[in-house]
């Protein structure tokens, strides 16, 4: 006897089939199937041949592949009993519960006392299929690995797109060829990490940003994860995501993976990107007031570092306001005796040397300008040189002789007294001062990977948000070291990177757009001489890069020349004029056959308008810009396009591309096939083209 379950959304169908009460396998995942497709027939047609050197039947690539079934690859569950004996469960069907687009399947191995649950939730509006698994045991056991429900990967693919990164270089995309065996990514640093963003795109051969088929995965967990992409000897492929191995310290009886967000796209990588962007924006993020526009930030870090001086900060705030800022964030250096990064983390009291009258004089000034006040904190961390550490050396996570990171250690968030202490410290600040925003940092990797640490930070954030629902929180971890849909259940912004080098930032933004919508992605105009690259870019370039996401400034405004200030004010005003519709727009990455160009479109949710950013990163090999094809438009509709920054055309442009002097009218079909001819672009410049449906 076979069992079937089918989930149908507007853009995808998933079919699960199980034999003889065993765990099911995904037998179809792709574009919607007609209702007339009979699951029994699909399952029969899914059967594979057997030949020499194989078992007499193919073990199922089930949602939790079982070693007990002679599965020849990575099992979905690896655990031991309390005596250290390996358990090899044989799960059998117990029950199913299907409610609308949600499905929960329960299986048990009664001899071993194990119950396995797989959950699937299909969200039509975002096109995301979210799934997770749970394991319950009647006896304590030691878990090494539990995968969220396992998916087969398409064999019509020669490479996978995987993400790596580093400090000031997040979201680098790599095309990794499929080959026999396992491609494993594991973040064992206790963060989702710069190094291994927990995401994967599986393109079918020929897929690009705008065309072709692709499958997307994102594991929403901030504590370290493992991804397995494996090709079995028979050619089948599987994708597994779960917490990093051995994330559970001791014996336990209940385990749950984080949510694995998945999507099938018939519209290239962008179909995955917009599904993740929409799902995060519409189903995960919670804003205190969603209707309020994203305020333009001013963050003082790269202006003053630890050198806090009230008069200077007031002056900076006034100038930031004049440029268009709406939120002023006081970064590191206001507490304890923190004159550099060697001390005071843990001592969350105002430094009376720098602020003899507390923060009120600064906050009053900021508020008098009409700006909101935000504050930097790094609560999970402690410096050995701090009163907190001297009082509670036993509160740290990991061994006492561990290597320090940025001269700091991590508090053990599983301890109740740590939770209470941090809650008291942060809530005292939020009660004493008019603070609307916290930049919540996490500047070192953990000495060990541990699930309770992540549960602890989620619990603390949830408690603070419940008590102070008006306060927004930004997730920062030396830039983009903790970006994932888990932390974003509690935060409203990410500090994507410590790189304010506009060119590098635009590349990081481009990679991140496969998962993150614009409104959550912080982007600041940094100092003229970039502190992380030593490069200088024109203010026009720096400002337009920041205006592509949640805009802010981080330079010392006292360094700005009048012309720079004017450009920045104008672009900031453009951001303010457009942020309403941009907040719900899709970011669509454009395909350019020119590696010197990075281009994207932001298309309004009603598709009535868009903006194109054509970023000339470097000098091109050929003389003129190649035509830029747009995407996502109605082929039959007509559009009018306006080159917003026509005044930036350089003297080297001597010809007459239409957009240089007038607006262009064309059909969606023409724009998506022929593409735009833009004027010659200087390296390190951006064309901004606004489009409107007629």
Q: How far is the CB of 317 from ligand GLA (least distance, A)?
A: 17
Gap between the Cα atoms of 668 and 621, Å rounded: 29
Residue 327: beta bridge partners? Answer: 297, 372
Nearest CB to ligand GLA, comparing residues 24 and 346: 346
Nearest CB to ligand GLA, comparing residues 303 and 599: 303
Whether 244 and 195 have beta carbons less than 8 Å apart is answered as no
> In a 3-state reduction of DSSP, which class is residue 405?
strand
Which of 564, 566, 498 minimizes the C-alpha distance to 528? Answer: 564
Nearest CB to ligand GLA, comparing residues 128 and 476: 476
Nearest CB to ligand GLA, comparing residues 495 and 610: 495
Q: How far is the CB of 304 from ligand GLA (least distance, A)?
A: 11
Q: How far is the CB of 443 from ligand GLA (least distance, A)?
A: 5
Q: How far is the CB of 511 from ligand GLA (least distance, A)?
A: 18
Q: How far is the CB of 293 from ligand GLA (least distance, A)?
A: 23
In eight-state DSSP terms, residue 82 is T
Q: How far is the CB of 261 from ligand GLA (least distance, A)?
A: 26
Q: Please give the span between the terminal C-alpha atoms of the chain, in angstroms, as a whole number.
A: 57
Q: How far is the CB of 406 from ligand GLA (least distance, A)?
A: 8
Which of 444, 405, 479, 475 minimizes the C-alpha distance to 170? Answer: 479
> In a 3-state reduction of DSSP, which class is residue 639?
strand
Residues 6+ apart with CB under 8 A from 296: 324, 325, 326, 327, 551, 552, 553, 572, 575, 576
In the bound state, the residue with its beta carbon closest to ligand GLA is 332
Say which of 441, 501, 556, 586 is annotated catalytic.
441
Query: What are the residues binding ligand GLA (CB under 6 A)?
Result: 301, 331-332, 341, 376, 441, 443, 476, 478-479, 495, 498
In eight-state DSSP terms, residue 222 is S
Residues 6+ apart with CB under 8 A from 281: 517, 519, 520, 584
Nearest CB to ligand GLA, comparing residues 381 and 388: 381
Whether 541 and 686 have beta carbons less than 8 Å apart is answered as yes
Q: How far is the CB of 378 from ligand GLA (least distance, A)?
A: 7
Nearest CB to ligand GLA, comparing residues 407 and 653: 407
Q: How far is the CB of 332 from ligand GLA (least distance, A)?
A: 3
Gap between the Cα atoms of 296 and 564, Å rounded: 17
Residue 342: beta bridge partners? Answer: none
- Residue 116 burial by Cβ neighbours in a 10 Å radius (0-12, 13-18, 19+): buried
State yes or no: is 307 an active-site residue: no
Say which of 347, 484, 498, 501 is annotated catalytic.
498
Half-sphere exposure of 194 (CA within 13 A, CB side): 22
Nearest CB to ligand GLA, comparing residues 72 and 405: 405
> In a 3-state reduction of DSSP, which class is residue 422?
helix
Nearest CB to ligand GLA, comparing residues 222 and 443: 443
Measured over the CA atoms of residue 559, residue 322, residue 480 and residue 397, the dihedral's sign is positive
Nearest CB to ligand GLA, comparing residues 231 and 498: 498
Gap between the Cα atoms of 292 and 674, Å rounded: 39
Which of 1, 18, 22 minimizes the C-alpha distance to 92? Answer: 22
Per 3-state DSSP, what percentage of the chain is helix, strand, and coil (rounded to 5)?
Answer: 25, 30, 45
DSSP per-residue letters across 331-387: -S-SBTT-SSTTS-TT--SB-TTT-TTTTHHHHHHHHHTT-EEEEEE-TTEE-SSSH
Gap between the Cα atoms of 10 and 49, Å rounded: 33
State yes or no: is 96 an active-site residue: no
Q: How far is the CB of 498 from ligand GLA (least distance, A)?
A: 5
Torsion of CA 676, 680, 686, 687, to 10 degrees: -40
Neighbours of 129 (CB within 10 A): 24
Gap between the Cα atoms of 490 and 154, Å rounded: 34
Torsion of CA 248, 249, 253, 258, to 10 degrees: -20
Gap between the Cα atoms of 493 and 474, Å rounded: 5
Nearest CB to ligand GLA, comparing residues 73 and 552: 552
Return the residue matching tokens 């308008």. Answer: 609
Return the residue matching tokens 């194990």. Answer: 114
Q: How far is the CB of 554 from ligand GLA (least distance, A)?
A: 8
Nearest CB to ligand GLA, comparing residues 375 and 464: 375
Catalytic positions, written as ranges: 441, 498
């Amino acid at each position: 006897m076979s069992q079937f379950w089918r989930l149908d959304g507007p853009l995808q169908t998933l079919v699960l089939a199980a034999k003889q009460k065993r765990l099911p396998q995904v037998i179809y995942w792709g574009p919607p199937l007609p209702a007339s497709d009979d699951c029994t027939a699909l399952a029969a047609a899914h059967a594979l041949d057997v030949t020499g050197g194989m078992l007499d039947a193919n073990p199922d690539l089930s949602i939790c592949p079982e070693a007990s079934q002679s599965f020849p690859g990575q099992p979905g569950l690896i655990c031991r009993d309390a005596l250290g004996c390996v358990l090899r469960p044989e799960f059998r069907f117990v029950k199913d519960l299907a409610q609308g687009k949600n499905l929960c399947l329960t299986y048990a191995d009664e001899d071993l006392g194990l119950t396995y649950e797989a959950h699937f939730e299909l969200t039509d509006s975002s096109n995301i299929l979210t799934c997770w698994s749970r394991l319950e045991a009647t006896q304590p056991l030691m878990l090494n690995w539990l995968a969220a429900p396992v998916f087969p990967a398409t064999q019509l693919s020669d490479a996978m797109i995987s993400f790596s990164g580093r400090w000031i270089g997040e979201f680098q995309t790599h095309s990794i060829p499929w080959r026999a065996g396992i491609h494993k990514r594991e973040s064992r640093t206790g963060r989702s990490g710069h190094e291994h963003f927990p995401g994967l795109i599986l393109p079918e051969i020929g897929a690009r940003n705008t065309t072709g088929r692709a499958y997307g995965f994102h594991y929403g967990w901030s504590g370290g994860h493992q991804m397995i992409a494996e090709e079995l000897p028979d050619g089948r492929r599987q994708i597994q995501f779960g917490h990093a191995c051995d994330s559970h310290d001791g014996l336990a009886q209940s385990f749950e993976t984080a949510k694995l967000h998945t999507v099938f796209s018939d519209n290239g990588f962008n179909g995955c990107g917009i599904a993740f962007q929409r799902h995060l924006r519409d189903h995960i993020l919670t804003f205190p007031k969603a209707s309020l526009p994203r305020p333009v930030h001013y963050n003082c870090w790269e202006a003053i570092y630890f050198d806090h001086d009230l008069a200077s900060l007031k002056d900076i705030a006034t100038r930031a306001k004049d440029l268009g800022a709406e939120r002023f964030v006081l970064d590191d250096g206001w507490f304890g005796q923190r004159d550099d990064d060697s001390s005071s983390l843990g001592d969350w009291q105002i430094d009376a040397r720098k602020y003899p009258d507390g923060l009120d004089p600064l906050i009053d000034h900021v508020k008098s300008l009409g700006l909101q006040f935000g504050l930097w904190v790094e609560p999970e961390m402690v410096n050995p040189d701090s009163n907190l550490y001297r009082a509670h050396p036993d509160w740290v996570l990991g061994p006492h002789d561990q290597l320090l990171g940025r001269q700091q250690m991590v508090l053990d968030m599983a301890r109740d007294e740590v939770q209470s202490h941090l809650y008291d410290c942060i809530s005292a600040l939020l009660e004493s001062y008019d603070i609307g925003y916290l930049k919540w940092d996490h500047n070192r990797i953990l000495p060990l990977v541990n699930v309770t640490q992540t549960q602890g930070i989620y619990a603390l954030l949830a408690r603070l948000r419940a008590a102070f629902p008006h306060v927004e929180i930004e997730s920062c971890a030396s830039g983009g070291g903790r970006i994932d849909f888990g932390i974003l259940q509690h935060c409203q912004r990410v500090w994507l990177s410590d790189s304010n080098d506009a060119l590098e930032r635009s590349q990081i933004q481009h990679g991140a757009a496969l998962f993150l919508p614009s409104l959550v992605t912080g982007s600041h105009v940094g100092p003229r001489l970039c502190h992380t690259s030593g490069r200088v870019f024109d203010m026009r370039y720096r400002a337009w890069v920041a205006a592509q996401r949640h805009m802010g400034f981080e330079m010392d405004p006292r360094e700005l020349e009048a012309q720079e200030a004017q450009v920045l004010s104008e672009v900031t005003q453009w951001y303010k004029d457009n942020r309403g519709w941009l907040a719900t727009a899709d970011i669509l990455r454009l395909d350019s056959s020119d590696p010197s160009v990075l281009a994207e479109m932001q298309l309004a949710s009603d598709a009535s308008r868009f903006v194109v950013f054509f970023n000339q990163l470097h000098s091109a090999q050929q003389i003129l810009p190649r035509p830029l094809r747009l995407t996502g438009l109605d082929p039959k509709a007509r559009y009018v396009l306006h080159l917003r920054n026509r005044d930036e055309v350089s003297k080297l442009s001597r010809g007459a591309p239409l957009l240089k002097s007038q607006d262009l009218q064309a059909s969606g079909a023409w724009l998506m096939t022929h593409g735009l001819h833009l004027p010659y672009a200087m390296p390190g410049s951006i064309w901004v083209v606004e489009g409107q449906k007629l």
